[in-house]
Amino acid sequence: MAEETEEEAKEMQENRDSALKSINAKGKMWDYALPKLATFERFGQLSELAKGKYLEAISQAPDQDTYQKVFFPQLASENGAVTSPYIQNASAQILQESFSRILVQDALDYLGLKGNLKGDYSGKYVSQLSEEDQGKIIGSCMTYTTNNKVQDLLGTANQSVASGLEEMLIESEEEQTA
């Protein structure tokens, strides 16, 4: 394998920085992709919560990065209809591609795992690995985040249920002091 040039190394770093920005779990791209990732077969009724999160996200203007990556390419193309399935599929694809452009160490950190990488993985980008290894890493990162996003939605839904009863059954501070 030939040594990479300084220019190639710089480009890889820029791609990595862009990828890490895209996969930031707080980004809207996850909310756009969630209905596709949180399928009914896997998450049952929770997939309806994912659709609700998608509708909430889509009702707000996207940040510049998301607009450039998801909306602009479709809007600039001939017959570029920006439909819900397009947004969900494009967002999921961008997230998957982003995981391929990060270092293996970044993926390990993303999953909250600690330890030293085996020599074959040290200093390598996910895209430099075998297709099988890439699939395992990208799949694990995507599943990990999808599970966390759905778990957050369930926590929010449960909190809403509890607060409804709290409001009905428990005296407020103003009522206690009256």
pLDDT of residue 25: 65
> What is the C-alpha to C-alpha distance for residues 61 and 156, in angstroms, rounded to an integer?
23
> How far, in Å, CA of 19 to CA of 102, rounded?
7
Query: What single-letter amino acid sits at 72?
Result: F
Which residues 6+ apart lie within 8 Å of 81 measured at CB?
Answer: 74
In tens, the pLDDT along 13-72 reads 888 888 888 888 677 888 888 888 887 667 777 777 788 888 888 888 888 888 888 888
Domain boundaries of the chain, sorted by first residue: 6-177
Q: How far apart are CA 153 and CA 158, in angstroms?
A: 9
Identify which of 130, 135, 116, 149 has the alpha carbon closest to the alpha carbon of residue 38.
Answer: 149
Residue type, 128: Q
In sign, the C-alpha dihedral spanning 56, 61, 64, 67 is: positive
CA 15, chain centre distance (Å): 17
pLDDT band at 1 (very low <50, low <70, confident <90, very high): very low
Which residues does 160 contact at the CB level (< 8 Å), separation at least 6?
none
Q: Report pLDDT digits (tens) over 96-134.
A: 999 999 999 999 999 999 988 998 899 999 999 999 999
Q: Cα dist. 20→61, 78, 95, 126 in Å?
A: 21, 30, 10, 13
Residues 62, 69 contacting (CB under 8 angstroms): no
Q: Which one is predicted more confidently, 178 or 131?
A: 131
Distance CA 47, CA 49 (A): 5
pLDDT for the residue 41? 64
